[in-house]
């Protein structure tokens, strides 16, 4: 074996440590790595004896003695005994020993010595004592149990499941039967909830079942345009996640001679599949964490606690290679019963296929999946960002807010369709009461502050009685600038119409806005 061969061998290991020699009097210095590799998911790891920390081969004087000493120390200091294999290698006349440690089924694997009993886990390239949360996961794995299957002290009779029952009826077109609670694994034979049952209960008692949503202004985290936080029933969280995406993204369109063709920014089924994956595969034993949904101008990103259940990094695998290992099998089975997912573990592939089917898809817009030991992330790119960015450069509102048409709805906390309805309604004078009825608002001051005042400040909407803002006869209507935006939104204008519209407002534009308007006119011609 050459130096190149050993480097290739090491590269095949998911985790490894180098030891220039065997420290027989300090077994903890290397047995902690044995413990960590045995406690790991995936393929375990290897210790290479006879190689220094810089990866330089130094060799061992007596490989046979090292093998015997390792076996003795593992028997004396490890509980339970991990499955190991000792493999000697010769590199340019120098002898080294590979101690290959397989990931075990009977976790935790403890180092026992010096009056201590410690289970180690792998964090990066270090072997560190397991935290309380990590110990819970190791115990569950070793007892062949999952978090969602564990029994709780919550009595089933104290909880209702109306959300689950209604969702079951809506999605399966079948009647709900209370006996499903037991057959699905949500209730125990003694009448208590499992953790899965607690997650599906209307008043979910598990506070770690949380969702944080943020709509960021731009393509990076900075100023938040909108945010929301939800806690409770996992189906409710799923619904709120989808509503947040719908309210904080827009539908573009392709102008046609006889109308327009809607072009969604994201494939709804892809987003739904991604959210379901993150709720059912997240690690619920990580108490201080939650699912995060971050919406940017060009993408949305979903992050959940817990990496791949197999311990592998998803970015190192092809979609076809991703195993269907399930951290929470009961949650997964119930979601499959509700037709939110398939049992054969094709969720990531489906996200990609649904996105690929959208108009405007390009290879560089393929969804991205990333994971490490502590979290999993899904990134889905907007199909309309590039086109919208070009359009926005041509149609700036020219206001204090510096908003493009595409950003107006997001700033107001309305969906694309809701903004369209509002703008169309405002082509004729409308009272505040009439406007509130569009969106079922009862609080006048909050509705005005959130949806109408920003449009007035942007000079897109005007009051019919500006000198009497509180008059009962007050009405609201689009300004010429607002009408121009609506006209561009709803029509395919001719060149003559465009010239007339541009000339009508050009005097009120800044020099930069004039330049953009003239560029637009030239392109249309």
Average pLDDT over residues 102-130: 91
* Per-residue confidence band for 270, with pLDDT thresholds at 50, 70 and 90: very high
Higher pLDDT, 61 or 307: 61
Model confidence at 393: pLDDT above 60: no
Q: Spell out the CATH class of 3-142.
A: alpha beta
Model confidence at 37: pLDDT above 90: yes
User: What is the SS3 string spanning 399-427?
Assistant: CCCCCEHHHHHHHHCCCHHHHHHHHHHCC
What pTM did the predictor assign? 0.64
Please list, in sequence order, all residues whose beta carbon lies within 8 angstroms of the beta carbon of residue 93, skipping any fewer than 6 positions away.
Answer: none
224 vs 217: CA distance, rounded Å: 6
Q: Between the CA of residue 106 and those of 13, 42, 198, 285, 324, what are the distances in Å?
A: 22, 14, 28, 19, 21
Least confident of 136-140, 399-403, 440-444: 399-403
Over the chain, what is the mean pLDDT? 83
3-state secondary structure of 321: helix
What local confidence, expressed as pLDDT, does residue 3 receive? 63
What local confidence, expressed as pLDDT, does residue 493 receive? 43
Least confident of 47-56, 304-313, 414-423: 414-423
Under CATH, which number does the domain 395-492 receive? 1.10.10.10
Residues of the chain with CATH 3.30.950.30: 3-142
Model confidence at 403: pLDDT above 60: no
Least confident of 111-120, 137-146, 307-316, 486-495: 486-495
What local confidence, expressed as pLDDT, does residue 439 receive? 67
- Classify residue 373 by its DSSP letter: S
Q: Between the CA of residue 120 and those of 35, 101, 107, 125, 155, what are the distances in Å?
A: 5, 14, 11, 13, 36
What's the farthest any 2 CA atoms get from each other in the chain? 98
Q: What backbone phi and psi angles, to 5 degrees, belong to 342?
A: -105, 150
Query: Which of these, 443, 61, 382, 116, lies nearest to 249 by C-alpha position?
Result: 382
How are strands ordered across the β-sheet holding 368-371?
Answer: 224-231, 210-216, 291-295, 299-305, 375-381, 368-371
Residues of the chain with CATH 1.10.10.10: 395-492
What local confidence, expressed as pLDDT, does residue 132 receive? 83
Average pLDDT over residues 114-118: 92
Model confidence at 193: pLDDT above 60: yes
3-state secondary structure of 49: strand
* Per-residue confidence band for 492, with pLDDT thresholds at 50, 70 and 90: very low
3-state secondary structure of 262: strand
CB 485 within 8 A of CB 423: yes
What local confidence, expressed as pLDDT, does residue 524 receive? 46
- Most confident among 252-261, 312-321, 507-516 (mean pLDDT): 312-321
What local confidence, expressed as pLDDT, does residue 496 receive? 45
What local confidence, expressed as pLDDT, does residue 382 receive? 93
pLDDT tens figures, 87-106: 999 988 899 999 999 999 89
* Per-residue confidence band for 118, with pLDDT thresholds at 50, 70 and 90: very high
CA angle 204, 326, 333 (to 5 degrees): 60
Model confidence at 346: pLDDT above 80: no
440 vs 453: CA distance, rounded Å: 18
Q: Between the CA of residue 282 and those of 270, 277, 337, what are the distances in Å?
A: 18, 8, 19
What local confidence, expressed as pLDDT, does residue 191 receive? 95
Under CATH, which number does the domain 210-385 receive? 3.30.565.60
* Per-residue confidence band for 171, with pLDDT thresholds at 50, 70 and 90: very high
User: What is the SS3 string spanning 468-506?
Assistant: CCCCCCCCEEECHHHHHHHHHHHCCCCHHHHHHHHHHHH
Q: Which residues of 266-299 are buried (b: 16+ CB within 10 A; e: fewer)?
A: bbeebbbbbbbbbbbbbbbbbeebbbbbbbbbbb
* Per-residue confidence band for 511, with pLDDT thresholds at 50, 70 and 90: low
What local confidence, expressed as pLDDT, does residue 452 receive? 84
What local confidence, expressed as pLDDT, does residue 68 receive? 96
* Per-residue confidence band for 522, with pLDDT thresholds at 50, 70 and 90: low
């Amino acid at each position: 074996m050459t130096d190149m061969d050993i480097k290739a061998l090491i590269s095949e290991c998911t985790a490894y440590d180098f030891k220039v020699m065997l420290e027989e009097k300090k077994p903890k210095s290397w047995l902690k790595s044995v413990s960590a590799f045995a406690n790991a998911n995936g393929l375990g790891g290897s210790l290479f004896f006879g190689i220094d920390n810089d990866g330089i081969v130094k060799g061992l004087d007596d490989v046979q003695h090292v093998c015997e000493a390792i076996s003795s120390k593992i028997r004396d200091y490890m509980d339970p005994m991990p499955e190991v294999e000792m493999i000697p290698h010769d590199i340019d006349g120098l002898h080294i020993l590979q101690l290959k440690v397989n990931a075990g089924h009977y976790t935790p694997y403890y180092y026992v010595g010096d009056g201590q009993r410690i289970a180690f886990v792998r964090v990066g390239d270090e072997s560190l004592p397991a935290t309380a949360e990590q110990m819970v996961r190791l115990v569950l794995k070793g007892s062949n149990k999952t978090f969602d299957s564990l029994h709780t002290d919550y009595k089933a009779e104290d909880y209702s499941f109306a959300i689950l029952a209604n969702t079951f009826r809506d999605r399966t077109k079948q009647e709900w039967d209370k006996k499903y609670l037991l057959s699905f694994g949500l209730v125990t034979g003694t009448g208590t909830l499992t953790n899965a049952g607690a997650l599906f209960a209307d008043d979910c008692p598990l506070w770690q079942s949380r969702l944080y949503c943020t709509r960021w202004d731009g393509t990076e985290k900075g100023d938040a345009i909108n945010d929301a936080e939800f806690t409770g029933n996992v189906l409710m969280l799923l619904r709120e996640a989808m509503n947040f995406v719908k309210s904080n993204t827009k539908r573009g369109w392709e102008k046609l001679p006889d109308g327009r063709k809607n072009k969604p920014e994201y494939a709804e089924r892809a987003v739904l599949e991604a959210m379901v994956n993150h709720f059912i595969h997240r690690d619920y034993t990580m108490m201080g964490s939650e699912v995060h949904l971050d919406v940017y101008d060009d993408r949305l990103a979903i992050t959940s606690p817990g990496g791949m259940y197999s311990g592998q990094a998803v970015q190192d695998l092809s979609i076809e290679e991703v195993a269907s290992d399930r951290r929470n099998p009961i949650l997964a089975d119930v979601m499959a019963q509700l037709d939110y997912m398939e049992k054969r573990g094709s969720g990531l592939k489906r996200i990609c296929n649904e996105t690929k089917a959208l108009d405007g898809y390009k290879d560089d817009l393929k969804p991205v999946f990333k994971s490490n030991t502590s979290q999993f992330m899904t990134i889905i790119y907007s199909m309309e960002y590039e086109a919208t960015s070009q359009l926005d450069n041509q149609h700036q509102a020219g206001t204090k807010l510096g908003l493009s048409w595409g950003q107006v709805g997001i700033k107001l906390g309305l969906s694309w369709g809701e903004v369209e309805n509002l703008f169309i309604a405002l082509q004729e004078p409308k009272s505040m009461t009439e406007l509130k009825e569009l969106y079922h608002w009862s609080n006048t001051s909050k509705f005005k502050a959130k949806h109408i005042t920003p449009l007035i400040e942007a000079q897109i909407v005007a009051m019919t009685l500006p000198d009497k803002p509180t008059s009962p006869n007050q009405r609201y209507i689009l300004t010429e600038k607002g009408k121009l935006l609506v006209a561009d939104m709803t029509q395919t204008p001719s060149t003559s119409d465009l010239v007339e519209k541009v000339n009508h407002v050009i005097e009120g534009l800044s020099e930069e806005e004039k330049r953009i308007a003239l560029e637009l006119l030239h392109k249309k011609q």
